[in-house]
Structure 1
Amino acid sequence: MAENSVDPVSKSTPAPSLTLLGLGAMGTALARTWLAAGHPLTVWNRTAARAEPLAALGATVAATPAEAVAANRLVVVCLLDDASVEAALDGVDLAGRDVVDLVTGTPGLARARAAWVEQRGGRYLDGGIMAVPPMIGVPEAGPYVFYSGSQALFEEHRDTLSVPAGTRFVGADAGFAALYDVALLSAMYGMFAGVAHAFALIGGEAVAPSDLAPLLTSWLRAMAGSVTRTALQLESGDYTVGVVSNLAMQVAGTPTFLRTAEEQGVSAELLAPYFALMARRLAEGAGAEDLTGVVDLLRR
């Protein structure tokens, strides 16, 4: 896995030019960062008015996607979805073009789009952005992008791609960037679900959310250490290594969480599915294991 921190292009050499399709919040943030770093930039957006502020900063505004693609070898796409990418590039000559697709999608869509671009004579790199627009171009905020697909394309344009955010190349399989992206975001939403349940529990009580927040933050940070243990257990196939609280003990405690939710008038719908999986794994005789066996249930 290759990793770069944000690194402005040296002022002693001309910054490479590139094209950007799509000027939503993320696309605009990318565009502003490349322009600030001195990269000649051609932009296109379906709603042309969005390009006007960038034109004032020196961007060249193309009237059509074909005109924008023809302007530069490196073409970065930051549109709404995969269907928008196909609509924008349909009929456009991609021969000799390096297409970097930053649209959030699935691994399957990325692989199909890679084949689609390659059939048209271009090279393809898929990207999964691990940042929100305000983080772009701000190294201390820690933004980065997963990239997968053509490693030759990645290596050739690494410096340019590293300007708005750090880069992490995760493999020649074009679907891997989306896979890493969605895996991390899925874990994030799981965390958000737990946080939502925690705050719901204290609603109506004489407990201020701002009093619970720092305790919740420190607790989640401490529990994050279990991620590495889970990974090692999955790789070894032994889910009993390093167990602190085994599955049997944890399942025995779940009724308390459900009763507390009932007492507080809170729905248990965020917790109940996970508890049900824990109980299923226990019923298979895995009481001495960690919670890692739930992963196997999800993959069945």
Structure 2
Amino acid sequence: MEHDAFDKSEIALLGLGDMGTALARAWLVAGQPLTVWNRSAGRAEPLAAEGAKTAETAAAAVAAGGLVVVCLLDDASVGEVLADVDLTGKDLVNLTTGTPAQARARAKWAEERGARFLDGGIMAVPPMIGTPESGGYVFYSGSRALFDAHRGALAVPAGTRYVGADPGFAALHDVALLSAMTGMFAGVSHAFALIRKEDVVPADFAPLLVDWLTAMAPYAYGTAGHLTSGDYTEGVVSNLAMMVEGNSTLLRTAEEQGVSAELLTPFMALMERRLAAGHGEEGTTGVIDLLVR
């Protein structure tokens, strides 16, 4: 793929774990001038052979690049690595996984040191980086001017989605999607547990499960509509009263199959609380109001 449409000024990349290395290789393939640094210098050697410049210190790497990208272990690592580094006039993009509050604090920290700041939440695993057809992308939030100035370069490793000036929004979107994924994993795990001891071939059951979850995914649009309108009964086909009644069958089946229901019962308990409060004609959107403190 050609990437001639963006300004190929020097990028400094700090952190060469699996994700950092994947980012580096994507930029190198695109002809991006790149200086890399890693706490364990040996991680940089293969990239040097592929055309990257290496820096002995984080400060030297930052000095080499106008755009500084950090992809480290955690937020504390970012603070440690950049503690004594001059960031004046730099554009700092933080692709280290963290929380919204950490991103907001880090943005203030960077601005106090004279840098523009952009936080990123990577919605991809390393093999997806540099492969447009993989569908991987990165949420970005913070300085819009920084994002606009470097959008072309940032789009080389993965797609870009700017989600707002609030520096915490990239992490918020990232964690919200990952949390939904975790809930899906829980449901998939329970489903496979139910068939585990039966004469049901997991490989035959998997496509049925994928098709069903795909068909159910638009549930999210209905939930968004309810939250927007405030009418949690709009368009509801299976109401809360009906679903709570049906939960007994799910629990009884789990017991018959010798499967713990611990992945299901927390959500079911919230459904029961909402029903007890007199909201039987709603769908499950009201559970969200029980979760928000």
- Asked if TM exceeds 0.5, the reply is yes
Q: Which of 65, 73, 87 is 2:66 aligned to?
A: 73
Q: How does 1:24-39 map to 2 (within 5 A)?
A: 24-39=17-32
Residue 252 (structure 1) aligned with residue 236 (structure 2): no
**Structure 1 CA distance for aligned equivalents of residues 280 and 30 of structure 2:** 57
Q: Structure 2: 5+ residue runs without aligned partners? A: none
Residue 54 (structure 1) aligned with residue 54 (structure 2): no
Report deviation, 1:225.
1.1
Percent sequence identity over aligned pairs: 69
Report deviation, 1:81.
0.3
Counterpart residue number, 1:10: 4
Counterpart residue number, 1:199: 192
Residue 274 (structure 1) aligned with residue 259 (structure 2): no
**Structure 1 CA distance for aligned equivalents of residues 2 and 64 of structure 2:** 23
Q: Contact 1:9–1:15 at 8 Å: present in 2 too?
A: no
Residue 84 (structure 1) aligned with residue 77 (structure 2): yes
Q: Which of 202, 217, 223 is 1:224 aligned to?
A: 217
Q: Which of 171, 175, 186 is 2:168 aligned to?
A: 175
Counterpart residue number, 1:145: 138
**Structure 2 CA distance for aligned equivalents of residues 33 and 61 of structure 1:** 16
Residue 189 (structure 1) aligned with residue 182 (structure 2): yes
Counterpart residue number, 2:90: 97
Counterpart residue number, 1:209: 202
Cα RMSD, aligned residues only = 1.0
**Structure 1 CA distance for aligned equivalents of residues 28 and 288 of structure 2:** 45
Q: How does 1:120-131 map to 2 (within 5 A)?
A: 120-131=113-124
| Matched positions, count | 293
Q: Contact 1:16–1:160 at 8 Å: present in 2 too?
A: no
Counterpart residue number, 1:3: none
Q: Which of 31, 43, 61 is 2:36 aligned to?
A: 43
Q: Structure 1: 5+ residue runs without aligned partners? A: 1-6
Counterpart residue number, 1:237: 230
**Structure 1 CA distance for aligned equivalents of residues 90 and 164 of structure 2:** 20
Report deviation, 1:186.
0.3
Report deviation, 1:9.
2.2
Q: Which of 149, 153, 166 is 1:156 aligned to?
A: 149
Runs of 4+ in 1 over 6 A off after TM superposition: none
Which range is displaced more, 239-248 or 256-265?
A: 256-265
**Structure 2 CA distance for aligned equivalents of residues 8 and 238 of structure 1:** 49
Could you say which structure has the greater relative contact order, defined with CA pairs below 8 angstroms and 6 or more residues apart? 1
Q: Contact 1:44–1:62 at 8 Å: present in 2 too?
A: yes
**Structure 2 CA distance for aligned equivalents of residues 26 and 109 of structure 1:** 20
Amino acid at match of 1:271: L
Matched position secondary structure for 1:239: coil
Report deviation, 1:10.
1.0
Amino acid at match of 1:205: E
Report deviation, 1:210.
0.7
**Structure 1 CA distance for aligned equivalents of residues 86 and 134 of structure 2:** 37
**Structure 2 CA distance for aligned equivalents of residues 143 and 273 of structure 1:** 32
Report deviation, 1:8.
4.2
Q: Contact 1:99–1:124 at 8 Å: present in 2 too?
A: yes
Matched position secondary structure for 1:20: strand
